[in-house]
Amino acid sequence: MALLIITPGRNALRWQRELQRIDSKLDIRIWPDTGAPKEIEFAFAWNHPAGELQKYPNLKCIASLGAGVDHILQDPDLPENVFVTRVVDPLLTRSMSEYIVLTVLNRRRNFCVYREKQQKKKWHLEPIVEFSRCNIGIMGLGEIGKSAAKRLTEFSFRVFGWSRTPKQIPKITTCYGNHQFMQFLHRSHILICLLPLTPLTKDILNQSTFDNLPEGAYVINVARGEHLVEHDLLQAIETGKLSGACLDVFRQEPLPKKHPFRRHPKIIVTPHIAGITAPESVAGQVVENYTRVQMGEPPLHRVNLQRGY
Ligand code: OXD
């Protein structure tokens, strides 16, 4: 039985090398050179072509190459009765938290403003944004949300968290469900989106959300581009409701060259690099899950298909 790597546009050979470094006997196929479809039991996937995974009658598990699984679940022809798993990796969690802390500190200490002033040869002190005007609101309290929240409390930020179901996290004030969403927003000067993309969270960064934030709030999106209604963000910055945004994910990636975010003075754009899945760090859990599935055991880090994460 074989493991299929189906990650168009990504370096599949690098993954193959890492997986075989752990188990040299693995029979790995790289899409589209799949060999006999009935031999494929496990697919390691990122942005696979819709409908493709139905072609493997013995497929038991689809493992996402990343923490998100929306790219798998959006396939309307996904085979039934297969496990779907995601990556849970300390290195990925750490790199996401690092990006978030960096962005929050950048905002508090005005580094982007200084860069602009430097270019204009200006020497002018900017007031540091007071902690009382820097409450952090984290949407999504999974592994990454919890880790980022902890790091931010270590810098003395007051952190609020919002999730679908109640969560208790030391030093974080948590809210949950639709009924507590507004109350969460009212307190969040810096709003960070770490939600999984599901039909319930798509477009959640919209005008009504922005309207309920304090004046001059700042938005950080490191989840998915589809969480954000782009026009609403531009408008909220235009009216001064928001002071700016830092975006790592976009509806269309790469972000088109003429997109208004590209040159916007109040929007920082990074090319989906907040968290990088490193093959050396993640290959072990993929091989472990492949072995489990072959032995008829449930894999680790399974996704609840009803919930979508
Ligand atoms: C992920 C991503 O989901 O890279 O891991 O966006």
Say whether 90-269 and 2-89+277-294 share the same fold: yes
| Cα gap 229→244, rounded to integer Å | 15
Nearest atom (ligand 1) to Cα of 69: 3
Question: From ligand 1's centre to the CA of 287, what distance in Å?
Answer: 19
List, for residues 160-198, the tens digit of each pLDDT value. 999 999 999 999 999 999 999 999 999 999 999 999 999
Domain ranges of the chain: 2-89+277-294, 90-269
From the CA of 274, give the closest atom in ligand 1. Answer: 4
Clarify whether 108 is annotated catalytic. Answer: no
Residue 276, pLDDT > 90, answer no
Q: What is the mean pLDDT of the chain?
A: 97
Which of 19-28, 112-121, 137-146, 216-225 shows the lowest mean pLDDT across its residues? 112-121
Of 48, 108, 224, 292, the active-site residue reads 224
Residue 196 has a pLDDT of 97
Its sign, for the CA torsion 88, 94, 96, 101, is positive
Q: Give residue-wise pLDDT tens across range 199-226.
A: 999 999 999 999 999 999 999 999 999 9
Distance CA 308, CA 73 (A): 7
Describe the crossing of helices 90-109 and 143-154 by its angle, rounded to 10 degrees: 40
Choice from 91, 277, 286 to test ligand 1 binding pocket (greatest atom count within 8 A of CB) = 277
pLDDT, mean of residues 49-55: 98
DSSP state letters, 62-113: EEESSS--HHHHT-TTPPSS-EEE----HHHHHHHHHHHHHHHHHHHHTHHH
Average pLDDT over residues 50-65: 98
- For 2-89+277-294, CATH gives 3.40.50.720
Residue of the nearest CA to atom 5 in ligand 1? 66
CATH value of 90-269 in 3.40.50.1970, 3.40.50.300, 3.40.50.720, 3.30.70.100: 3.40.50.720
Active site (annotated) includes residue 94: no
Task: For residue 236, give the nearest of 259, 257, 265, 205 by alpha carbon.
Answer: 205
